[in-house]
């Protein structure tokens, strides 16, 4: 019987690894093949403290977990800016560094590792010393459930929504005011801490900490378990750990082999099994959104069919007024001397312009004039070389995009950049933040489930904020005429509908200044009117709007003033009528109007 | 005295570095063109060495013929893995294909390496490519095999660079690397290019495996460490760069590893390598941008002058 308990225990310990790795890879999209190395940090801290400092089980467990978490935070700092394939490399490097250090330091036992001189002792909890596999089962179930609950709470909340945003489109997530760096640091730290916890448990369970127990191939095995279980699904992670961990003993029982070669043949079958399993179910055993218990699915994760409807029915009547209750025509954004060059090319030079509340300004000009660069500079996606950007009297030049978004200037993207695997409502909710300045609202600086304190310690508050966000998101979707598509994955909507969702998302941020990149391009002409009505409504609601648009029809209908750009400079400013009267401009840009 | 020691370490560094360069170039062209995270590189590496060793020591073939047979087997294995495992899997798993290909590659390696152990046993085997002669240049000693390794490596890298630059096939490969969709429109079949690239990468990998077997020993787990170095070198050099750039990255890694042996004991040298790599990853987004601005500024000022 102890044989099966032993396997069960290993499944449980590896589940702690896979669940936490899934939060990192499946939710946050950060690929790591160093998970076992973080286990090594926990395991070796545990081994060293119990041998040299005579610490009890719980002290050792806490220290090992915290130690791995701290190293995880340190690793996250260089990881913040890296593309996924470089992240694989970085984590391989971290894994090698950790294993080399523990394998080369004589005090840690070198290549042989450290053998434990005592069993795990749960006291003051009942249960005492854990000497046999069956005694381990309950405590390990406890640790696994704890890991599951914490990771599930983080994954399936406002915090998890930000993680999935980072995974699917980092730039768009940032542009909606989410502090992605802090979120990544937290998720790296926490998942590493859980790996450390599993490492400590593995040390006490095996009674040894050695470099091979936590080697790169163990990290790869954990990675394979997680992918095979299903990314973005924690139940799948447990299942993945169980299936791959059970594959070997099952083979041992089923296939009767010449004992001399049995082990090798099992490994061959194991390897082939991996190839076959991933071929049969590339999405994993339980894909994102699938549930083990009901086989019920959340709205399909993959775009199914395009839902096409009639032109949008914009219903601004029931809309909630924005905070922009200030005076119309008040100057909101003041740009002076804005310049940016790439190498020797001056993309934007010495731009001066103002944007006022309740006014729509169009940025027009031929391709390559630098219009989109201006948006990138204003929102912090690019850092200006010179000049100032004053938003409501405060210079925001040089601030990161998420800070600028939270200060009240957001942009839309020409190619909308919705999160196609999230529902329309979730897309809008990702832009809705209730700002809170208290330092402990960490890591997001917002109220509700996006900060871990509210998420774990004030669940009522987190729930109320989430409900408010959902209600507001539904209002906004109603406003753009898409209330009935709230639960449809954004990827299944038509391009026009996606554009409308992206406007709802912008309104959700409650920003004063909206920069719209080609709001009407790529859309059926029936839809254009609806979208223009929406932009006009936003203006009337007190927003400050700047559009980049090629369609002269749109510019004429919407814009109060236009800024004409050529080769990075403003060459004319005024009303559309004034600009079209200028013979030179008429020739170079407007053609014969 | 210390100069002689450093020179000796530098020579060892060049030899190891050339070996890493060969691995990195082979892995880099596969990853750069096909986007497959080909962990089974380790299996190709090992199998080439085993086949060569068997034909050469057991069947008594001449070394050159045995090595050629080993390389053919390596190329066939690489092409078969792409054609029958990666390609259908990638088609089937869509956007997840980077991860699923990686996992399946891992499975292939585990199965293959254990199959090799079953067939050949885990015993260490030998392989003789060239008669082993100790050579001396000044105070520095090295072997004929070291010389052969360095010459073969750089000849292969030069041949690959020439192939990519000067032939139609090379242009097609570079087109597929730069923009697969466009390459398809222009009439090259990326599927066929992928097979060719796997053949090229596997021959380079197999060469490295055979050379490694001749330097040390032929063992089933001989590919475990080299595959990690292949990743490191390919990424450090940049998978979209010329083979020479990747080769120089390999040389750099070899020299760092070897020269650090002057200050630290051997078990710490890989720590030095990975710490350098770690530092590079932290710094490179910054310094590359800074460097580019600097170059642009310099160019501008010379133009003005």
Q: Closest to A104 (Cβ–Cβ): which among B89, B103, B268?
A: B268
Is the per-residue pLDDT at A355 higher than 80?
Answer: yes
pLDDT along chain B (305 residues), means of 10: 88 96 96 92 97 92 96 98 95 85 94 95 91 89 95 97 94 86 78 95 98 95 92 86 92 93 86 85 61 55 51
Q: Distances in Å between the alpha carbon of B157 and those of B30, B38, B77, B160?
A: 14, 20, 21, 5
- Which residues in chain B are closer than 8 Å to A223, comparing Cβ atoms? 103
Examine the pLDDT at A172 and tell me if it is beyond 90: yes
Asked if B115 and A89 come within 8 Å (Cβ–Cβ), the reply is no
CA distance A122 to chain B (A): 37
Which of A220, A275, A282 is the closest to B85 by Cβ?
A275
Determine if the peptide bond prior to A124 is cis (ω within 30°). yes
CA separation for the pair A223, A17 (Å, rounded)? 9
Q: Is the CB of residue A68 less than 8 Å from the CB of residue A222?
A: no
Mean pLDDT within A3-16: 95
What percentage of chain A exceeds 90 in pLDDT? 63
Neighbours of A290 (CB within 10 A): 20
The minimal CB distance from A274 to the residues B104, B224, B275 is found for B104
pLDDT band at A298 (very low <50, low <70, confident <90, very high): very low
pLDDT of residue A95: 93
Chain B residues with CB-CB distance to A343 below 8 A: 292-293, 296
Chain B residues within an 8 Å CB radius of A272? 107, 111
pLDDT tens track for A553-571 = 888 899 999 999 988 999 9
From B88, B118, B285, residue closest to A261, measured CB to CB: B118
pLDDT for the residue numbered B284: 66
Residues 86-115, chain B, touching A (beta carbon < 8 A)? 88-89, 92-94, 96-100, 103-104, 106-112, 114-115
Q: At what angle do helices A216-229 and A234-254 cross, to 10 degrees?
A: 110
Is 50 exceeded by the pLDDT of residue A323?
A: no
Q: How confident is the model at residue A318 (pLDDT cuts 50, 70, 90)?
A: very low
Contact B106 A224 (CB under 8 A): yes
List chain A residues with CB under 8 Å of B282: 77-78
Chain B residue with minimum CA distance to A284: B100
pLDDT at A309: 52
d(CA A193, nearest CA chain B) in Å: 21
Element (H, E) at A354: strand A345-356
The answer to whether A237 and A225 are in contact (CB under 8 A) is: yes
- How far apart are alpha carbons A511 and A435 in whole angstroms? 12
Half-sphere exposure of residue B46: CA atoms within 13 angstroms, side-chain side: 27
CB A114 within 8 A of CB A44: yes
B144 shares contact with chain A (CB less than 8 Å): no
State the sign of the Cα–Cα–Cα–Cα dihedral A128, A129, A133, A136: positive
SS3 A582: coil
* CB–CB contacts below 8 A, A to B: 131
Q: Mind telling me how many Å the CA of A434 is from chain B's nearest CA?
A: 33
Q: Does B152 touch chain A (CB under 8 A)?
A: no
Report the residue from B99, B115, B228 with minimal CB separation from A268.
B115
**Helix ranges, A458-543 (H):** 459-479, 495-508, 525-540
Percent of chain A whose pLDDT exceeds 70 = 93
Q: Which of B100, B117, B300 sits opposite A278 (nearest CB)?
A: B100
B18 SS3 class:
helix
Are the Cβ atoms of A278 and B104 closer than 8 angstroms?
yes
Asked if pLDDT for residue A541 goes beyond 60, the answer is yes
pLDDT at A320 over 90: no
Beta bridge partners of A209: A114
Q: Tell me if the bond preceding B69 is cis, omega within 30° of 0.
A: no
Digit-coded pLDDT (tens) for A247-297:
877 877 777 667 777 788 888 988 998 899 889 988 888 988 887 665 544
Sheet order of strands, A569-574 included: A409-411, A513-517, A544-548, A360-364, A561-566, A569-574
ipTM of the complex: 0.86
Asked if the Cβ–Cβ distance from A267 to B111 is below 8 Å, we say yes
What pLDDT does A417 receive?
A: 93
* Residue found by looking up tokens 């004053």 in the block: A390
Instruction: Give helix B224-237 / helix A84-104 axis angle, nearest 10°.
Output: 130
B274/A267 touch (CB, cutoff 8 Å), yes or no: no
Q: Which residue has the higher pLDDT, A6 or A299?
A: A6
CB pair distance less than 8 Å for B111 and A231: no
Chain B residues inside the 8 Å CB shell of A227: 99-100, 103
CA–CA distance, A142 with A146 (Å, rounded to integer): 6
Chain A interface includes B277 (CB < 8 A): yes
Nearest CB among B37, B92, B118 relative to A282 is that of: B92
Q: What single-letter DSSP state applies at residue A436?
A: -
Dist CA B30 CA B27 (whole Å): 5
For chain A, say whether B84 makes contact (Cβ under 8 Å). no
Q: What pLDDT is recorded for position A7?
A: 93
Long-range CB contact pairs, A63-67, < 8 A, 24+: A64/A196, A64/A197, A64/A199, A64/A200, A65/A193, A65/A194, A65/A196, A65/A197, A65/A200, A66/A193, A66/A196, A67/A41, A67/A42, A67/A196
Chain A contact present for B155, CB below 8 A: no
Residue B106 is nearest to which of A81, A94, A274, comparing CB atoms? A274
Task: Classify A398 as helix, strand or coil.
Answer: coil
Cβ neighbours of B289 (radius 10 Å): 10
Distances in Å between the Cα of A14 and the Cα atoms of A21, A242, A408 are 10, 8, 45
The answer on pLDDT for A319 being more than 50 is: no
Asked if the Cβ–Cβ distance from B100 to A282 is below 8 Å, we say: yes
């Amino acid at each position: 019987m102890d044989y099966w308990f032993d396997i069960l225990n290993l499944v449980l310990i590896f589940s702690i690894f896979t669940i936490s790795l899934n939060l990192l890879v499946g939710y946050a999209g950060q690929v790591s093949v160093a998970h076992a190395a973080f286990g090594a940090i926990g395991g070796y801290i545990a081994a060293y403290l119990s041998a040299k400092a005579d610490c009890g089980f719980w002290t050792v467990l806490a220290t090992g977990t915290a130690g791995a978490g701290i190293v995880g935070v340190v690793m996250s700092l260089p990881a913040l800016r890296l593309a996924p394939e470089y992240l694989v490399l970085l984590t391989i490097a971290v894994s090698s560094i950790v294993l080399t250090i523990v394998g080369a330091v004589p005090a840690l036992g070198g290549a042989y590792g450290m053998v434990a001189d005592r069993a795990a002792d749960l006291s003051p909890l009942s249960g005492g010393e854990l000497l046999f596999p069956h005694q381990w089962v309950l405590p390990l179930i406890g640790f696994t459930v704890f890991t599951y609950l914490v990771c599930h709470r983080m994954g399936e909340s406002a915090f998890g929504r930000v993680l999935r945003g980072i995974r699917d489109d980092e730039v768009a997530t940032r542009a909606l005011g989410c502090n992605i760096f802090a979120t990544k640091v937290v998720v790296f730290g926490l998942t590493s801490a859980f790996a450390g916890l599993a490492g400590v448990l593995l040390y006490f369970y095996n009674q040894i900490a050695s470099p091979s127990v936590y080697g790169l191939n163990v990290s790869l095995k954990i990675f394979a378990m997680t992918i095979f279980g299903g990314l973005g699904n924690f139940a799948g992670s447990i299942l993945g750990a169980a299936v791959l961990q059970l594959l070997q003993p099952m083979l041992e029982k089923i296939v009767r082999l010449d004992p001399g070669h049995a082990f090798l043949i099992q490994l061959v079958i194991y390897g082939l099994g991996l190839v076959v399993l991933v071929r049969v179910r590339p999405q994993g055993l339980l894909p994102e959104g699938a549930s083990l218990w009901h086989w019920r699915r959340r709205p399909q994760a993959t775009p199914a069919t395009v839902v096409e409807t009639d032109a949008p029915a914009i219903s601004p009547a029931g809309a909630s007024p924005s905070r922009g209750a200030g005076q119309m025509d008040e100057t909101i954004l003041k740009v002076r001397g804005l310049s940016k060059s790439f190498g020797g090319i001056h993309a934007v030079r010495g731009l001066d312009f103002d944007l006022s509340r309740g006014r729509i300004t169009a940025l027009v000009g031929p391709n390559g004039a630098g219009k989109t660069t201006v948006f990138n500079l204003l929102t912090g996606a690019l850092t200006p070389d010179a000049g100032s950007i004053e938003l409501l009297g405060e210079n925001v030049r040089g601030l990161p995009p998420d800070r600028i978004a939270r200060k009240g200037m957001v942009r839309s993207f020409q190619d909308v950049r919705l999160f196609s695997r999230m529902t329309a409502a979730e897309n809008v909710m990702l832009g809705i933040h209730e700002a809170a300045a208290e330092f402990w609202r960490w890591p997001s600086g917002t109220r509700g489930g996006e900060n871990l304190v509210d998420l774990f310690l004030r669940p009522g508050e987190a729930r109320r904020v989430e409900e408010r966000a959902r209600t507001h998101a539904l209002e906004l979707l109603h406003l753009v005429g898409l209330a009935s598509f709230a639960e449809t994955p954004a990827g299944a909507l038509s391009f026009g509908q996606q554009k409308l969702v992206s406007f709802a998302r912008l309104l959700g941020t409650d920003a004063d200044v909206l920069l719209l990149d080609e709001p009407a391009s790529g859309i059926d002409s029936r839809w254009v009117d609806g979208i223009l009505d929406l932009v006009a409504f936003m203006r009337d609601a007190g927003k400050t709007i700047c559009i980049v648009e090629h369609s002269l029809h749109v510019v004429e209908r919407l814009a109060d003033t236009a800024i004409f750009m050529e080769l990075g400079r403003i060459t004319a400013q005024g009303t559309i009528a004034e600009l079209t009267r200028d013979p030179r401009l008429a020739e170079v840009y407007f053609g014969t109007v | 005295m210390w100069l002689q020691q450093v020179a000796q370490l530098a020579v060892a560094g060049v030899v190891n570095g050339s070996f890493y360069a060969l691995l990195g170039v082979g892995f880099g062209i596969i990853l750069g063109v096909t986007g497959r995270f080909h962990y089974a590189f380790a299996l190709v590496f090992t199998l080439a060495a085993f086949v060569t060793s068997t034909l050469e020591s057991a069947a008594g073939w001449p070394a050159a013929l045995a090595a050629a047979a080993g390389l053919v087997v390596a190329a066939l294995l690489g092409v078969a893995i792409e054609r029958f495992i990666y390609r259908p899997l990638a088609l089937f798993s869509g956007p997840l294909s980077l991860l699923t290909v990686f996992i399946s590659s891992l499975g292939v390696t585990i199965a293959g390496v254990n199959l090799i152990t079953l067939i050949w046993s885990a015993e260490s085997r030998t392989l003789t490519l060239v008669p082993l002669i100790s050579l001396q240049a000044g105070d520095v000693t090295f072997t004929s095999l070291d010389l052969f390794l360095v010459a073969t490596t750089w000849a292969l890298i030069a041949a690959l660079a020439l192939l990519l630059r000067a032939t139609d096939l090379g242009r097609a490969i570079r087109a597929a690397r730069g923009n697969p969709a466009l390459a398809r429109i222009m009439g090259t079949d990326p599927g066929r290019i992928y097979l060719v690239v796997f053949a090229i990468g596997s021959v380079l990998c197999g060469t490295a495996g055979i050379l490694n077997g001749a330097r040390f020993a032929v063992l089933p787990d001989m590919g475990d460490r080299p595959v990690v170095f292949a990743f490191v070198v390919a990424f450090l050099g940049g998978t979209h760069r010329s083979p020479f750039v990747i080769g120089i990255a390999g040389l750099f890694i070899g020299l760092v590893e070897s020269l650090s042996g002057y200050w630290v004991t051997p078990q710490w040298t890989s720590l030095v390598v990975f710490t350098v790599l770690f530092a590079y990853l932290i710094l490179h987004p910054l310094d590359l941008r800074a460097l580019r601005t600097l170059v642009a500024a310099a160019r501008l000022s010379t133009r003005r002058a």
